[in-house]
Structure 1
Amino acid sequence: MVFLLMGGAYLRSRIKQAGKWDQETIVSFFLCQYCSGEYLPIVEALGDRASIRVDVNQAWDAATGAKGCRELAAMGVDLIEQPVSAHDNAALVRLSQHIETAILADEAVATAYDGYQLAQQGFTGAYALKIAKAGGPNSVLALARVAQAAGIGLYGGTMLEGTVGTVASLHAWSTLPLQWGTEMFGPLLLKDDIVSVPLSFADGEVVLPQIPGLGVELDEDKLRFYTRQA
């Protein structure tokens, strides 16, 4: 089983998708332009019943990011993802040091080297881990080790992979303390799948397969059906 080869220090039969929060109490949304005030009614209505996270998706420059992040923090948002360009580490570091709300670096950190560079500059938030972004399980775990050494939090991210990519991520995440949880919901968006037995999702958790390898078997008939010639 892959998670045993990776260490499995935090092995459980189920992997919590939402960390300490229940499935129904996480609200996340994209904020792609400066309009943070429009979300205040949502935050106020949910109160302390939900953890609210916002993905700005690199939409703000440094000045707008400083203003927007302060406003989101004042509203009670718990996590702000990549508010500025992935190429503006200086602004990202400043925000992490001066904004009360945690800042999540996503596009800014793909590899362990990226993580080291950002940590060396003084970043104090959290890193979004993604296997596809890092180039594989070993690479993403190397980034996680850098973050842990620097006291930076971890979040298990998704690039909306299907079941095979998702289960590879789950094996890696099972070895880590994810302070900000994870959201491996890619397979739930599929109308059909190429695996014989789908992953089991229930109550904000997904069961980690415990059969050899990644724990999933391809449905050869489905694979042939969906194969397209280049």
Structure 2
Amino acid sequence: GIAMLEAAGIDLIEQPTPREQRAALARLAARFVVPIMADEAVCGPEDAMELARIGGADVFALKIAKSGGIFGMLRTAAVGDAAGIALYGGTMLEGSVGTIAAAHGFCTLPQLAWGTELFGPLLLKDDIVTERPEYRDFALHLPQGPGLGLALDEDKLAHYRRKQG
């Protein structure tokens, strides 16, 4: 299937094997010209080191949720960057807080060859922030202000809080 996709001009193949089949991922990365992206297989810097060692991917999908936060994502990115592996800023369809946190982290990277797709807030009918992230001219614009630049809406937090008991 990858040969047909490659022949058709597909730009990137995302995680064509289960997470634990790293050797298979490495064989595919070696066999095809089209870049193979590790997603589920790279959850932190330790995974990144192993994948870099075996040539398991041409691209790493970075996600703050699966890396244990912004710092873990940055450590994973540093391994990929040092190994010559391209980076993609991924999403797990986070809401505004997670999306803006990821955007702040991604903005600090020296290169993000495959860009990013931080569109989670666009799928939400409602939100827990006072002002939703701004999408303009096909780009997410980072909010100004301290911290992440977001303010939580306390009434919305109370509304969506799980009731105890």
Match of 1:183 in 2: 117
- Residue pair 2:38, 2:57 contacting (<8 A) in 1 also: no
Q: What does 1:153-164 correspond to in 2, within 5 Å? A: 153-164=86-97
- Residue pair 1:164, 1:216 contacting (<8 A) in 2 also: yes
Match of 1:223 in 2: 157
- Residue pair 2:16, 2:25 contacting (<8 A) in 1 also: yes
The partner residue of 1:202 within 125, 136, 152 is 136
d(CA) in 2 for partners of 1:78, 1:218: 39
d(CA) in 2 for partners of 1:124, 1:140: 17
- Residue pair 1:124, 1:151 contacting (<8 A) in 2 also: no
Report Cα offsets for 1:136-186 as digits up to 9, x if no partner.
100010000000010000000000000001111001000111100100000
The partner residue of 2:60 within 127, 141, 145 is 127
d(CA) in 2 for partners of 1:82, 1:162: 24
For the residue of structure 1 that corresponds to 2:27, the secondary structure is helix
d(CA) in 1 for partners of 2:141, 2:13: 28
d(CA) in 1 for partners of 2:125, 2:69: 26
Q: What does 1:115-154 correspond to in 2, within 5 Å? A: 115-154=48-87
TM-score scaled by structure 1? Answer: 0.69
Provide runs of 4+ in structure 1 moved above 4 Å. Answer: none
Identity level (%): 54
Match of 1:89 in 2: 22
Gap regions ≥5 residues in structure 2: none
d(CA) in 2 for partners of 1:89, 1:227: 40
Q: Does 1:107 align with 2:40?
A: yes
- Residue pair 2:36, 2:59 contacting (<8 A) in 1 also: yes
d(CA) in 2 for partners of 1:183, 1:88: 26
Higher RCO structure (Cα 8 Å, ≥6 apart):
1
Question: Residues 223 and 124 (structure 1 numbering): CA distance in 2 closer, same or farther, change over 3 Å?
Answer: closer
d(CA) in 2 for partners of 1:210, 1:163: 14
Gap regions ≥5 residues in structure 1: 1-67
d(CA) in 2 for partners of 1:217, 1:111: 29
- Residue pair 2:13, 2:36 contacting (<8 A) in 1 also: yes
